[in-house]
Homo-oligomer: A and B are copies of this chain.
Amino acid sequence: MANLPDKDQLLKIAEHLKPFIHRTPVFTSSSLNKLAGCRLYFKCESFQKTGSFKLRGAMNAILNLRNDAVEKGVVTHSSGNFAAALAYAASRIGAKAAIVMPENVIPSKRDAVLSYGANIIYSGNNPLDREKKCEQVISETGSSFIHPSNDINVILGHSSCAIELISDSETLDAVIAPVGGGGLISGIALGFKHFSPRTQIIGGEPLNADDAYQSLKAGKIIPQIDPKTIADGLRTSLGDVTFPIIKDHLSEIIRVSEDDIINAMKLIWERLKIVAEPSGAVAFAALLNNSSVFNNKKIGIIISGGNIDTSALSF
């Protein structure tokens, strides 16, 4: 952990990102405060460009490429929000991006990537296939691999989300963010560590994809294989960059059921009138599951994204 940047470096990263990202709004709701018994600050990354927080990390990774690397382009594997984010981030500096996606990708996610001018390379539908495909692209083109979460530049980009939230809310007793690969919460943890050290960092994780909870308990990374949860952004596992940060900085991980996630998502839609995707509702679900602990406290909730497949809606 000796190499983690200091306060000034985090501020510099956030400043550097500004022209490329939205400063997303912080929403409050008296009806949800009443329901939860505490004062909530929702950081709405659903309104981030490309529809999720992922752009912060993707953009920072892209801005950190050396000139010769920019020419050769970037590659990642993702069927979700990081795919669109990296495609968009690369387009902003005119770099080529290759995105390895499974053949059964949701058409709207595929179209988003294509609309940013990235190249899609279809792999099979399992993780081994896509990793092999990535290696093949790298060996053929010399492009740089950017991992969706387990990459220090990606994590540092996400810390800009914490810096904005700290500046746009009261001093928080706790902040809750969803945990998938752990990139978001690692960035949030580093931001709060420097700029609001008394705020507890809490993870929200689907019970059906609780590798971070299990890993923390075991003291080592326990990856999950093909977990089933509606929170499709949280099916990935921690890595060797995110695990140590999470181990050092999180107070706890709160696990939530599928019903908890759906209930929290519907409340966000109904009361805040904004669209959160299932993964984006997991932090709020974690709060609701333990609201007595947070009674009368000031809590930040990261709504991580708002990309939904409307064809799945019953209209």
Contacts and interface: CB of A to CB of B under 8 A. Distances in A.
A96 interface: no
A72 interface: no
A269 B273 contact: no
Given A312-B314, A314-B312, A314-B313, A269 B275 contact: yes
Interface in A112-137: 115
A68 interface: no
Contact of A274 (B262, B273, B310, B315): B273
A203 interface: no
Interface string A228-260: 001000000000000000000000000000000
Contacts of A312: 314
- Quickly give the copy total for this chain: 2
A118 to B, nearest CB: 16
Contact of A310 (B270, B278, B315): B270
Contact of A269 (B47, B230, B310): B310
A47 B27 CA distance: 11
A174 B314 CA distance: 32
A234 to B, nearest CB: 16
A102 interface: no
Interface in A262-315: 262, 265-266, 269-270, 273-275, 278, 306, 308, 310, 312-315
B313 A266 contact: yes
Contacts of A310: 266, 269-270
A34 to B, nearest CB: 9
Contacts of A115: 31
Contacts of A47: 273
Nearest to A277: B273
A80 interface: no
B269 A308 contact: yes
A141 interface: no
A51 interface: yes
B266 A315 contact: yes
A270 B315 contact: no
Contacts of A64: none
Nearest to A275: B273
16 contacts: A46-B273, A47-B273, A262-B315, A266-B310, A269-B275, A269-B310, A270-B308, A270-B310, A273-B274, A273-B275, A273-B306, A274-B274, A275-B275, A278-B315, A312-B314, A313-B313
